[in-house]
């Protein structure tokens, strides 16, 4: 029997970018390789995306892009399950059950909700302006994602740590009446990449439109790299790699030797920022090339993509149904 069950998901709210890769995909990939014989759940959190995405065509496209991304990176790794969150209705049934075991005060203290309330107050608006219930109860749905599969290893970014902590508090309450106790989840955070910068030097985020997409074509990638902000150091003078956004982005996807070589060129004064951007473009294309070929093949054949997710989700549904049945028996819904 597996000692660890790994689970993580990505919201389909935009094109998959370098921040998604370093913050979610790469840590999950490392864990999957290190735990070859354990169960691993990787899902597309399309219902979570509804808190912000309200356009039908956008959501359909983003769902496929994230699904193709998961499959492209994890092809050939055993014991992996891929599914759309929306394919597993048991998650949403459990979401309501957990809502009845979740103190409202826990959700009042959620960082994302508090930040939105504080912003409204600062701007003189009603505290709950433009905050839908999905935003408020988001941590409960995330708890259902995790607890339904008895997942105990949850690779996440630092900003999601509190959500896993909320899931722990909820399951402690639920376990008081459970004969078969649900394991407490543990957040697994890769501290080596707490902040992935975007092309403007801020945290890489779709909200800031400062991302480097993983699978964009060369023309679009070159355009985005061309927008990376730099200082006014003229060609012929040494460049400082320590405060250069190009160098930092290069360091995310280059080898130790490549980083050392570029640093030497910076300090020698033999290159300018235009040359550095060309190096970044070349390294970026090379790093993701094999995965991009797989991704493009999936995106060119949506029927094949849907089939792969549907096939994988059959096993997921069976596990979800069995675990939900245990919970429903414990609360008195089933005899």
Low-confidence ranges of the chain (pLDDT < 70): 1-2, 192-194
Distance CA 293, CA 72 (A): 9
Contacts of 231 (CB under 8 A, 6+ apart): 243, 244
pLDDT score recorded for residue 1: 44
Q: Whole-model pTM?
A: 0.91
pLDDT score recorded for residue 23: 83
Distance CA 313, CA 307 (A): 10
Q: Do residues 198 and 208 lie in contact, with contact meaning Cβ atoms separated by under 8 Å?
A: yes
Among the listed residues 307, 323, 276, the one whose alpha carbon sits nearest the alpha carbon of residue 84: 307
The tokens for 331 are 């609360």
The tokens for 7 are 């689970």
pLDDT score recorded for residue 232: 93
Tell how strand 5-10 and strand 39-44 pair up: parallel
The 10s digit of each residue's pLDDT in 138-191 is 999 999 999 999 999 999 888 889 999 999 999 999 999 999 999 999 999 877
Q: What does 150-202 look like in DSSP terms, one character per residue? A: T--EEEE-GGGHHHHHHHHHHHHHHHTT-SSPPPPPEEEE-GGGS--B-TTSS
């Amino acid at each position: 029997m597996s000692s660890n069950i790994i689970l993580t998901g990505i919201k389909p709210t935009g094109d998959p970018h370098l921040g998604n890769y370093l913050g979610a995909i790469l840590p999950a990939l490392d864990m999957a390789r290190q735990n070859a014989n354990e169960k691993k759940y990787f899902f597309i959190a399309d219902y979570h995306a509804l808190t912000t995405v309200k356009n039908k065509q956008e959501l359909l496209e983003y769902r496929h892009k994230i699904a193709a991304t998961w499959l492209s990176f994890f092809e050939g790794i055993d014991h992996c399950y891929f599914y759309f969150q929306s394919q597993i209705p048991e998650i949403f049934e459990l979401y309501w059950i957990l809502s009845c075991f979740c103190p409202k005060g826990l959700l009042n203290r959620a960082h994302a909700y508090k930040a939105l309330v504080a912003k409204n107050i600062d701007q003189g608006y009603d505290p709950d302006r433009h905050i839908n219930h999905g935003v408020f109860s988001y941590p409960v749905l995330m708890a259902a994602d995790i607890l339904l599969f008895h997942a105990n290893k949850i690779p996440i970014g630092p900003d999601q740590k509190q959500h896993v902590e909320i899931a722990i508090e909820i399951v402690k309450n639920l376990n008081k009446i459970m004969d078969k106790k649900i394991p407490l989840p543990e957040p697994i955070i890769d501290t080596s990449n707490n902040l992935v910068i975007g092309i403007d030097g801020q945290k890489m985020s779709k909200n800031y439109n400062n991302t480097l997409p993983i699978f964009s074509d060369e023309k679009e990638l070159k355009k985005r790299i061309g927008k990376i902000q730099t200082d006014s150091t003229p060609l012929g003078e040494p460049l400082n790699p320590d405060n250069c956004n190009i160098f930092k982005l290069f360091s995310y996807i280059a080898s130790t030797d490549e980083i050392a070589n570029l640093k030497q060129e910076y300090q020698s004064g033999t290159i300018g920022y235009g040359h550095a951007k060309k190096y970044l473009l070349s390294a970026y294309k090379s790093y993701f090339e094999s995965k991009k070929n797989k991704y493009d093949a999936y995106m060119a054949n949506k029927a094949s993509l849907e089939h792969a997710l549907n096939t994988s989700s059959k096993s997921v549904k069976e596990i979800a149904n069995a675990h939900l049945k245990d919970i429903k028996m414990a609360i008195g819904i089933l005899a």
